[in-house]
Amino acid sequence: MTFALWYQVAVTSPGSLAQPVTVSNDVLAGSLVLDAEITVTMTEGAATDTFEVVLINLPTDTADLVRAAQATTAVTATIRLGYFDDVATRTGDGGLVLVGRVTRVVNCVGEDGYGRTILYGQEEAGYLLRNTPAAGQATGTDAVRFARDLVRRAGGVQLAPNSTLPGDLTGFTVRTGSTLDALGALATRAAVPLVVRDGDVFLGDAVGAATDTAPVAFDPDTNIVSLHSLDGEDTASTPAPPVHSTLSMTVLGHPLLRVGQVAKVTGLSGVPSGTLRISRVLHRFTTDGGYVARLELIAAEAGRRAQVTTGVQVVVDRWRELVDRAQDDRPAIDVGEVTEYTADGHVASLQYAQQPDPAVAAPSVAGPVDGGTELHGKPISSAFAFDRTGLVVPVYPRMRALLAHNRGLVNDAVLAGFLWTDEPELRRPANRPGDHWLALPTGLGPDGLPTGPGVNDLTDATGHRVIQAAGLRVQVGAGTLPEVGTRPDPPSDGSITIEHESGTRIRVGADGGVTITTDHQPITLTNGGVSLKLDGTKVAVS
């Protein structure tokens, strides 16, 4: 092989370009014979592959035609690379590097006086996924099926065979402006790798599969130009990230090299053991400088999420990590578990700071609260709170509290409400639709959970109300009211007492006996036909 370089770029737009604009360095392959500089960057994760094509001295009228088309309709660029004496790279899809969407066209003149038309863009599937909103709810537990449905909505994109996505998605809902971001979140949740390439989405075991091998082996005697190794912490895992072995190498270019392929390295000592997977590819082609591919290889088995990024991607990852950490450090809403309640002041102390498993869809109720961090003496919000007055609710240890953080400050937390949880289980009352129901315990068991009889005040959807209490005392009239903020004394037995400020009282004792007393006021009993009146020492029937 003489390594005589060959390239072809075809620009198409069915709505605007009557004929494809094809450029090449092969007089038999393209309508325009030009020099070109081509860079294609392929990465793992929720990112699109990108390209930059520099066409040198493209005729002005052709450049204007491409710019006009890109401004109004979708423009696609098909990039092929190879060698004149390697027929396989010049026929069929043997030389196909990427089919992508042109997102920007720039015309300029360099210092050498040559005009340059630069096409920037993204791989077609990644572009469609990035620009398609995702919204939906999993109808079952099959996460792969849910991911496949999301991918199909992007149009023209498929989920690769043998893709896997562990985890139960029961009740899981996604809503985001980008399907690519949604897939990234699903992959992160399940701790599996994600690759978008050649119109397909690869998830889990499809990434690094034994059948998906690089088109060539890498050997210093045949194609390795430069090489260095790195043992680094996984940049996608925190805290306590594992260390992965990586190889960064520059090799003679091959158009079919892709992210996610299994690489074979020979003729070298010290190569990391186990499966080596391509995690990044940069195809770099210039007609006067050659065609090389810069590769990042990482030691990782099929379906294992592993990432050790270098270069610009490190900056991107660190920026995302900084944003995520800032959100964690300054939460707006959070949850905690009550450990102690102080009636004097109506404040509570809580266990705080969840570290949920990514596979848990709703950790606010489906994940435990770790006990390593505590908040002390935090106020409890109320529907009404004023000086010595308000609505006070009962608070018990083990209750799951919804926390609101003023200005995102951890220490300025307010208990904004409470939640029934699934882990640990706090069972919900057996209500019916339309119920307005206050259910209170009368005792706690050894486990700190309600046990025994319950107190209830229920109004149902039809407006009927039932009140159940261990004892009841009702006082009516301004003269019976205590000083504001003074706690009234409830009955200590199973009696019912209704008192009026005039001194009249009706009482049903714990034994069921009924007593009606007044302060020298008459008592009248009537059924509408006969009346019995007690007035002083007189009894009259009428």
Mean pLDDT of the region 313-330:
66
Backbone angles phi, psi at 389, to 5 degrees: -140, 165
DSSP characters for 268-309? -SSPPSS-EEEEEEEEEEETTTEEEEEEEEEE--TT------
Q: Using CA of residue 413, residue 414, residue 419, residue 424, what is the dihedral sign?
A: positive
Reduce the DSSP state of residue 404 to 3 states and report it. strand
pLDDT at site 111: 86
- Of 329 and 426, which is predicted with more confidence? 426
Between strands 514-517 and 505-508, the pairing is antiparallel
pLDDT at site 324: 66
pLDDT at site 246: 85
Q: Are residues 141 and 185 in the same domain?
A: yes
Q: Are residues 356 and 407 in the same domain?
A: yes
pLDDT band for 269, please (50, 70, 90 cuts): confident
| Percent of the chain with pLDDT strictly greater than 70 | 93
Give dist(CA 137, CA 133) in Å, integer. Answer: 14
Q: Establish if 365 belongs to a structural domain.
A: yes
Q: Establish if 178 belongs to a structural domain.
A: yes
Name the nearest CA neighbour of 447 among 424, 474, 419: 424
Mean pLDDT of the region 259-265:
96
Give per-residue pLDDT as tens, 442-462.
999 999 999 999 999 999 999
pLDDT of 210 > 80? The answer is yes
Q: Which range marks the domain in which residue 497 is found?
A: 472-541
Q: How many residues does the chain have?
A: 542
Q: Establish if 56 belongs to a structural domain.
A: yes
Q: Are residues 149 and 55 in the same domain?
A: no
Q: Are residues 278 and 195 in the same domain?
A: no
CATH (domain of 249): 2.40.30.150
pLDDT band for 433, please (50, 70, 90 cuts): very high
Q: Are residues 120 and 9 in the same domain?
A: yes
Mean pLDDT of the region 304-324:
66
Q: Are residues 106 and 139 in the same domain?
A: no
DSSP state of 26: -
148, 206 Cβ separation under 8 angstroms: no
Q: Establish if 464 belongs to a structural domain.
A: no
Give per-residue pLDDT as tens, 122-150.
999 999 999 999 988 887 768 899 999 99
pLDDT at site 322: 66
Q: Are residues 96 and 111 in the same domain?
A: yes
Give per-residue pLDDT as tens, 459-471.
999 999 999 999 9
- Number of structural domains found in the chain: 5
Letter for the amino acid at 155? Answer: G
**Which of 82, 111, 126 is at the close of a domain?**
126
pLDDT at site 373: 87
Of the spans 131-135, 166-170, 226-230, 243-247, which averages the highest pLDDT?
A: 131-135
Give dist(CA 84, CA 95) in Å, integer. Answer: 11
> DSSP E strands: which ranges in 481-537?
496-500, 505-508, 514-517, 523-526, 531-535
110, 166 Cβ separation under 8 angstroms: no
pLDDT of 414 > 90? The answer is yes
Give per-residue pLDDT as tens, 359-410.
787 889 999 998 778 999 999 999 999 999 999 999 999 999 999 999 988 8
CATH (domain of 138): 3.55.50
3-state SS string over 29-80? CCCEECCEEEEEEEECCCCCCEEEEEEECCCHHHHHHHHHHHHHCCCEEEEE
**Which of 126, 156, 177 is at the close of a domain?**
126
Q: What is the mean pLDDT of the chain?
A: 90
**Which of 403, 428, 453 is at the close of a domain?**
428
Q: Establish if 316 belongs to a structural domain.
A: no
Q: Establish if 511 belongs to a structural domain.
A: yes
CB atoms within 10 A of CB 139: 11
Q: Are residues 122 and 10 in the same domain?
A: yes
pLDDT at site 296: 93
Q: Establish if 441 belongs to a structural domain.
A: no
pLDDT of 313 > 80? The answer is no
- Of 488 and 273, which is predicted with more confidence? 488
Taking every pair of C-alpha atoms in the chain, what is the biggest distance, in angstroms? 131
Q: Are residues 112 and 143 in the same domain?
A: no
Q: Are residues 192 and 217 in the same domain?
A: no
Q: Are residues 9 and 121 in the same domain?
A: yes
pLDDT at site 325: 66
Give per-residue pLDDT as tens, 211-240.
999 999 999 999 999 988 877 655 555 554
Give per-residue pLDDT as tens, 175-184.
999 999 999 9
Between strands 200-203 and 158-159, the pairing is parallel
pLDDT of 2 > 60? The answer is no
Q: Establish if 317 belongs to a structural domain.
A: no
Between strands 21-24 and 32-33, the pairing is parallel
Q: Are residues 35 and 72 in the same domain?
A: yes
